[in-house]
Amino acid sequence: MKYFLVKFLAILLLSAGFGVAKPGPTLAAPEGTGLPLPRFVSLRANEVNLRTGPDVRHPIEWIFRRQNLPVEIIAEYKTWRKIRDWQGTQGWIHQSMVAGKRTIIVTGNPGSVRTLRTKADAKSPSLARIEAMVIGKLVSCPGADGWCRVEIDGFKGWLRRVEFWGVHRNEILK
- Would residue 12 count as lying in a domain? no
Residues 91 and 115 in one domain: no
Nearest to 149 by CA among 107, 106, 116: 116
Residue 143 pLDDT level (bands cut at 50, 70, 90):
confident
Q: What percent of the chain has pLDDT over 90?
A: 76
Looking at this protein, which amino acid is placed at residue 138?
A: L
In a domain, 159, yes or no: yes
Residues with Cβ within 8 Å of 78's Cβ and at least 6 positions away in sequence, in order, are 30, 31, 32, 54
Q: Report residue 137's pLDDT band, with 50, 70 and 90 as the boundaries.
A: very high
Residue 20 lies in a domain: no
Q: Whole-angstrom Cα distance, residue 80 to residue 61?
A: 15
Q: Look up the domain containing 150 and give its range.
A: 105-165
Q: Last residue of some domain: 80, 101, 122?
A: 101
In terms of domains, do 72 and 89 share one? yes
pLDDT digits (tens, 9 = 90+) for 54-99: 999 999 999 999 999 999 999 999 999 999 999 999 999 999 999 9
pLDDT digits (tens, 9 = 90+) for 144-160: 789 999 999 999 999 99
- Which pLDDT score, from 0 to 100, does residue 30 have? 62
Contact indicator for 143, 166 with CB cutoff of 8 Å = no
153 and 118 share a domain? Answer: yes
Using pLDDT thresholds of 50, 70 and 90, give the confidence band for residue 32.
confident
CATH label of the domain that carries residue 137: 2.30.30.40
Decide which of 75, 101, 127 is a domain's last residue: 101
